[in-house]
Structure formats: C-alpha cells, structure tokens
C-alpha cells in the first residue's frame, strides 16, 4: 500500500465511482435491462449499454423513453428500475476484492474519500450500509443531484472543492473509459479499475489512466 501511494505526489483525496468500481454490479443492471426490455416486447442489445453507460438514471430514462417510444413517464421508468434493483443492492451485490481494506487504510492516513456515482442515492446507501463502509465517505454525490453525466467533470470537481483540494491532489477511481477521460482532462490523477463490462475498453483505459488495477488488493 505504501508503495502504491508513493507513486503519486501530494495526494490528499480519493474519489470513487460505485458500480463496476467499488461493487460488482454492472451485470445486475444488464439483467435488469434485459428483463425490462422483455416486458415491453423489446430485444436488448449491447449497444444500449454503451449508449447509457455514463448517464444518470433520469437521463437514461429520458433516453430510453424517447428511443423506444415508451408509454410510461420518465419518473415511472426510474421507479420501475429502482424497484427491480432494490433487492440486489440491499441483499446480494458484493464489494470488489480488497475494497474495505483499502478504504480503511485511506481513512487511517487522513485521506478524504468521496463517492461520485451515476446511481441513485438510495441504492448507493443501501449497498454501502450493507457492507458497513458508508461511514468511510466524507462526501457522497450523484450525477442526478447535479443534473449532469460523467462526460462533465462537475461531479469530481464538486467533491474535490468540498475537500478544499485541487484536482491534482485527488485520485479518481473509475471502471469506464468516459469517467477516466473526463477526470483526466480535468487534471485529476486517474486510476482505471478492471471490470468485466468494460474489458473491451481495457487497452484505451490503460493508455489514458495514470494507473490500472485488477482489484484493490493490488493496492495493498
């Protein structure tokens, strides 16, 4: 762990994505999407996941409604998804290997910790509390609260600002290429986290990120 932190100068903060980064959940959303599409007489295609990957739930609902001419309102679509996901986040989704130990180490070394997620606050808190790591975070922020997606650096910048830190003092951990690109361009130190759902972009992520890890045990 000491060797990992020594790679970077003056690090005082760490900002984490949630789904696919801290928790092993991306296939859960794929299963939810497949079920949702089937109930509407639609066929799920992988291109859908690529189109929505960096968006918040409200933006995804808007995109889905407009693209597939659904009868439900955007609010109703979000509600359906949250109901479908609730059991997974409260009872089933696991942390990525080494997450808890890594967060505890950062806290013990006075590193400010933030969560920057495209998920809902309720689902995020449910899975964090289930694994007893909610208290590790000094700031939790969702893209829905800011009305942006992760093609904008606003969520990372807002968290860094709340810590009174500049981007160059913060690590950003992301599994998706869009998050890595956005944070990198904003001046953050970026750490790519391997996830099954983003393996097709692994080479690009490794080329852009300051560091690439398979799991958090590799940081210990």
pLDDT for res 6: 82
Model pTM score: 0.90
pLDDT at 27 over 90: no
Q: What's the rounded mean pLDDT across residues 22-34?
A: 91
pLDDT confidence of 157, banded at 50, 70, 90? very high
**In this prediction, what percent of the chain has a pLDDT beyond 70?**
99
Q: How confident is the model at residue 49 (pLDDT cuts 50, 70, 90)?
A: confident
Q: Are 153 and 183 in contact (CB under 8 A)?
A: yes
Q: In angstroms, how far is CA 136 from the centroid of its own chain?
A: 16
Q: Which CATH superfamily is domain 2-25+94-219 in?
A: HAD superfamily/HAD-like (3.40.50.1000)
Reduce the secondary structure of the chain to three states and give it as a string.
Answer: CHHHHHCCCCCCEEEECCECCCECCHHHHHHHHHHHHHHCCCCCCHHHHHHHCCCCHHHHHHHHHHHHCCCCCHHHHHHHHHHHHHHHHHHHCCECCCHHHHHHHHHHCCCEEEEEECCCHHHHHHHHHHCCCHHHCCEEEEHHHHCCCCCCCHHHHHHHHHCCCCHHHEEEEECCHHHHHHHHHCCCEEEEECCHHHHHHHHHHHHHCCEEECCHHHHC
pLDDT of the residue at 2: 60
Q: 29-42, pLDDT tens digit by residue? A: 889 999 999 999 99
Q: What is the average pLDDT value for the chain, to the nearest integer?
A: 94
Q: Where are the domains of the chain?
A: 2-25+94-219, 26-92
Over residues 93-97, mean pLDDT: 97
pLDDT at residue 1 is higher than 70: no
pLDDT at 180 over 70: yes
Domain 26-92 has CATH 1.10.150: yes
């Amino acid at each position: 762990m000491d060797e990992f932190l020594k790679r970077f100068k003056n690090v005082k903060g760490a900002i984490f994505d949630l789904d696919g980064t801290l928790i092993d959940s991306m296939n859960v959303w794929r299963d939810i999407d497949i079920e949702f599409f089937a109930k509407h007489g639609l066929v799920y295609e992988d291109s859908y996941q690529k189109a929505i990957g960096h968006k918040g739930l409200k933006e995804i609902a808007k995109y889905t409604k407009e693209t597939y001419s659904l009868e439900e309102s955007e609010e109703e679509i979000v509600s359906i998804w949250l109901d479908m996901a609730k059991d997974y986040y409260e009872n089933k989704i696991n942390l990525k290997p080494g997450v808890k130990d890594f967060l505890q180490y950062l806290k013990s070394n006075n590193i400010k910790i933030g969560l920057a997620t495209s998920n809902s606050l309720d689902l995020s808190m449910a899975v964090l509390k289930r694994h007893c790591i909610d208290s590790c975070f000094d700031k939790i922020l969702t893209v829905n609260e800011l009305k942006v997606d992760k093609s904008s650096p606003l969520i990372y910048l807002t968290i860094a600002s709340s810590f009174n830190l500049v981007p160059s003092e913060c690590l950003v951990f992301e599994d998706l290429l869009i998050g890595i690109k956005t944070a990198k361009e904003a001046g953050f130190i970026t750490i790519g986290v391997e996830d099954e759902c983003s393996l097709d972009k692994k080479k690009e992520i490794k080329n852009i990120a300051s560091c690439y890890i398979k799991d958090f045990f590799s940081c210990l």
